[in-house]
Structure 1
Amino acid sequence: MALAKLGVVVLDCPDPRALAAFYAGVLGGTVEGDAEWVDLRVPGGQSLAFQAARGFVPPKWPAPDGSQQFHLDLTVADLDAAEKGVLELGARPLDTADRSRTWRVYADPAGHPFCLCAC
């Protein structure tokens, strides 16, 4: 028996509205909230939330010690089209050199790593 269920994944960031707008551009959905907490409600998908974090420092990728906090895997039908779209929205590539793989790694505008996966 489970002790809990996953409510929402929360990303700390310097500007919750801006980061929610980025992910709304990637995933669709509606953005609701204020300067401190913003919800992105994705129809038929997992919602995300964004919380203001004073002194936010983005994670390093790859981490020098090999550890990593977490990352989001976003499933896409067309890697090249999705890559073009996330770059236009403000993502930056972290590991996209091997074009034969079924996944590529990017950072969102606040620096959180995420993968586009055509798996």
Structure 2
Amino acid sequence: MAGADNRPALAGKVTSHAIWSDDGRRLAEFYVAALGSEVSEAYRDEEGREAAFPVRVGGTMFIFWTATSFKAPEWPRDELVFHMDIAFDDVEAAERRLVELGATKPGHQPGGEHWTVLLDPSGQPFCISAG
């Protein structure tokens, strides 16, 4: 496949996804519980404070970053900077457990019976559905 300038396309591989929030550790722990993983050793900022919390899920690394200027989107009004879809065998049980872990369910549900939108503890939307 060639790029727009007719040179061969690059063949890079995504090694991680970074997700900002007001509390990276809390968000990492939420997704660890949802995805059945664990938080790896935190990365520290310039002052030595824990700032980024890596979570490996299969071959993908997610890094949950504490950003002091983070502001959750006002969904659905605001455009999203990231979005995650997670499949579960038992969506109803998963929804109950995710709410217990700190997710909330907004009134706006555009997926009908196909998917359910939840807001993670940082206020960012993600969707759950059957596999």
TM band (smaller chain): 0.7 to 0.9
Computed over aligned residues only, the root mean square deviation of the Cα atoms, in angstroms, reads: 2.1
> Quick one: which of 12, 18, 24 aligns to 2:26?
18
Q: Which residue of 1 aligns with 2:54?
A: 39
How many residue pairs were aligned?
Answer: 116
Q: Partner amino acid for 2:71? A: V
Counterpart of 2:71 (choices 51, 57, 61) is: 57
Q: Which runs of 5+ in 1 are unaligned?
A: none
Superimposed CA distance per residue, residues 39-77 of structure 1 (whole angstroms, 9 cap, x where no aligned partner): 0122x253211111112100121025xx33231000111
TM-score, scaled relative to structure 2: 0.78
1:115 aligns to 2:130 (yes or no): no
The alpha-carbon distance between structure 1 residues 79 and 89, as it changes in their structure 2 partners (threshold 3 A), is: same
Q: What secondary structure, in the 3-state scheme, does the structure 2 residue paired with 1:47 have?
A: strand
Q: What is the TM-score when the length of structure 1 is the normalising length?
A: 0.85
Q: Distance in 2 between matches of 1:61 and 1:45?
A: 30
The one-letter code matched in structure 1 to 2:53 is V
Instruction: Give the match's secondary structure for 1:83.
Output: helix
CA contact (8 A) 2:25 2:66 kept: no
Match of residue 6 from structure 1: 14
For the residues of structure 1 that align with 2:33 and 2:82, how far apart are their CA atoms? 21
SS in structure 2 at match of 1:50: strand
Distance in 1 (alpha carbons) for counterparts of 2:111 and 2:52 = 37
Report Cα offsets for 1:81-117 as digits up to 9, x if no partner.
1101100100000257689612100110001110001
**Larger Rg: 1 or 2?**
2
Amino acid at match of 2:61: S
Structure 2: 5+ residue stretches without partners = 1-8, 44-49
- Are the aligned partners of 1:36 and 1:51 in contact in 2 as well (CA < 8 Å)? yes
